[in-house]
Amino acid sequence: MYDVIVIGAGPAGLTAAIYARRAEKTVLVLEKETFGGQITHSPKVENYPGFIQMSGNEFAEKLIEQALHLEAEIELDEAKAIEDHGDFKRVICENGSFDGRTVILATGSKHRQLGVARENDFVGAGVSYCAVCDGAFYRGKTVAVIGGGNTALQEAVMLSDLCKKVTLVQNLAFFTGEQKLLDQLKQKDNVDFITSCVVDALNGGDELTGITIRNTETGETRELTVDGIFVAIGQVPENEPFKAVVPLNEWGYIVSDESCAMGKGVFVAGDCRTKQVRQIATAISDGAVAAVAACRWLDQ
């Protein structure tokens, strides 16, 4: 019987484990894929306070090292469901089950991908999912933003101040983001708009040199020469297995406030919950808040 079971070994989950171990609680961290979470895919991290530059892998390794130093247990296993047994929760995994007095859900969310060939090969070499994270690397260059919602428009606004040229590529015949953002972009000389088009292919050798786009109405294809693309077509949370113990909104995020407490010994942290800003700094903040709340719940 663990005091705390953390589901997810990203920045939020590992921070929660660190805080809970420092409070002398027994901790198990469950991770189904990559220790460190999505941040391990970022070749450079330059917006985390205290570090001028580091790779996502370096940051993740430091978090894991600290959690293990504090003797948190870490298991590679996929949590499939949570059973509420009153005084404890049973986490059903692919290879067995684990019991804990509290559970912290830190499952994160992943960027929705385009689903085209070689997409993963170009991550960090022309394909990005976060302008806040990677926009500075394309200063003075030509980029495309894929998407037409608020996130895509906001990223285009930011990139237009850094890049030589920004092209918005939207699959619909219109943009779904706020008109105010669209009007702001239309006033910029270095922003172009392409509608009713999808990305069919990513082109280049070791680094991206362009994309092939296809008009969804005519079927016509053409190549767009760019130094990089920013994919902003939404996030995909992975909370469906836990809907029996936490409420999900229409997009699949856990409905939670800044307290990170869901009641009955369940807590939530990081990108898997409803929030305005999803960055490493906010994930780590959530991890600390959730762990402290869980420890207080255990001590009452």
CB neighbour class for 228 (10 Å; exposed up to 12, middle 13-18, buried from 19): buried
Which H/E stretch holds residue 144?
A: strand 142-146
CB count within 10 Å of CB 60 equals 24
CA distance 44 to 59: 10
Q: Which of 134, 227, 271, 286 is catalytic?
A: 134
Instruction: Confirm whether 134 is a catalytic residue.
Output: yes
Dihedral (CA of 256, 258, 261, 263) sign: negative
Considering only the C-alpha atoms of the chain, give the largest distance between any 2 of them, rounded to a whole number of Å.
Answer: 65
Q: Which of 84, 99, 121, 130 is catalytic?
A: 130
Q: Which of 3, 77, 99, 133 is catalytic?
A: 133
Instruction: Confirm whether 130 is a catalytic residue.
Output: yes
Dihedral (CA of 273, 278, 279, 282) sign: negative
Dihedral (CA of 134, 135, 136, 141) sign: positive
> Which residues are catalytically annotated?
130, 133-134
